[in-house]
Amino acid sequence: MDIITGKILKYHNWIDGRIIGIAKDIGNKLIEGGMERDAALAKLDAVRQNPGSFLAVPLFAELARECIRISQKDESPNLNLRDQPLQYPIWGREHIDEGSLAQMDNAMRLPVSVAGALMPDAHVGYGLPIGGVLATENAIIPYAVGVDIACRMRLSLYEVSPILLEQKKGMFENALWEETAFGMGAEWKGTRRADHAVLDDPTWQATRLLQSLRDNAVKHSARAAREITSSSGVRSVCTSRCLACSPANISRRSRTAVRARLDSKSQTATANWRWNCILISIRASVILRGFRWIPKKVRNIGFPWNWLANSRRRIIT
């Protein structure tokens, strides 16, 4: 009985490698089943020419997959940049610097890019602006990140009239400058470290999350534990009214995503749309003005302002 050898397959232009062994085994099984050697070779060649048609055939599936793998390996990737960047939405364009826009445009010229977006807090990063979003096809780009990894945003909510916020804007901003450590790696040291009754509140021991945040409160806030940051220092501050932050103005998809994220960290969210706020910006990727975050396990301790009863500014977080 004739058999198929590796030498015969090479004579029929099969390349060296694992594929030779697979084709030889399948070809000899066909011969053992009664097929002539030439017919078996022709069948193997049919798989090689059109492997996609044989992926669902158990006998030929492995050979078909190997043929596809080899063909994809031989294909040269398209490394040419697009002449023009793909169109992408930009929020707050008037507040974004030209360097960030140029960096995002370059990313959207990549041949693997399929979609993108730029957020209003964008600024220049490494391979992509902070605040930039990039979707690619069959590609992972480790360098397409910014420099502010895992940064957050914080709110100080003032239960006062919007008119007072405008009239006393300087006072509120000065309070933040005086009592918040700004800059990369900034923290209060020595006599400037926090010394406030709220830091002795037993509620700090209620959850592991609160225990871990107390030290940050001491480092980053002078007299009140209200500006708890997850990064090294605060980078910018802006003031705002919460009038445009009704639930109707936040998409259902966004609310669902945030709720899922909060639930995963044993937190929940409540909202009061009457308040004004000063927004402590640390270049966050998600902005929800008007929310205050309350751990589930300490919902019964009362409203946050109970913690700051001795604060003459009655700052609520």
pLDDT digits (tens, 9 = 90+) for 251-290: 444 444 334 333 333 232 333 333 333 333 332 222 233 3
Q: Which of 147, 178, 200 is the last residue of a domain?
A: 147
Total domain count for the chain? 3
Q: Strands 276-281, 236-241: parallel, antiparallel or unpaired by DSSP?
A: antiparallel
What pLDDT is recorded for position 237? 53
**Residues 159 and 273 grouped into a single domain:** yes
**Residue at 107 is within a domain:** yes
Q: Which residue has the higher pLDDT, 293 or 241?
A: 241
How far is Cα 61 from Cα 278, in angstroms, rounded to an integer? 62
How far is Cα 53 from Cα 63, in angstroms, rounded to an integer? 12
Joined together, the tokens standing for residue 316 give 């609520």
| CB distance 250 to 123 below 8 Å | no
What pLDDT is recorded for position 190? 75
Count each helix (H run) and each strand (E run) in the chain, helices first: 9, 7
Mean pLDDT of the chain: 69
How far is Cα 26 from Cα 5, in angstroms, rounded to an integer? 11
**Residues 166 and 289 grouped into a single domain:** yes
Alpha-carbon 74 to chain mean position: 34
**Residues 50 and 83 grouped into a single domain:** no
Q: Which residue has the higher pLDDT, 99 or 170?
A: 99
Would you give the DSSP letter of residue 274? T
**Residue at 85 is within a domain:** yes
Q: Which of 74, 96, 126 is the last residue of a domain?
A: 74
Joined together, the tokens standing for residue 249 give 């103005």
Is the pTM higher than 0.85? The answer reads no
pLDDT one-digit tens code per residue, 104-159? 999 999 988 988 999 888 888 888 888 888 988 878 887 777 555 555 555 666 66
Q: Which of 100, 128, 147 is the last residue of a domain?
A: 147
Domain of 267 in residue numbering reads as 153-306
**Residues 199 and 282 grouped into a single domain:** yes
pLDDT one-digit tens code per residue, 62-90? 999 999 888 877 666 667 889 999 999 99
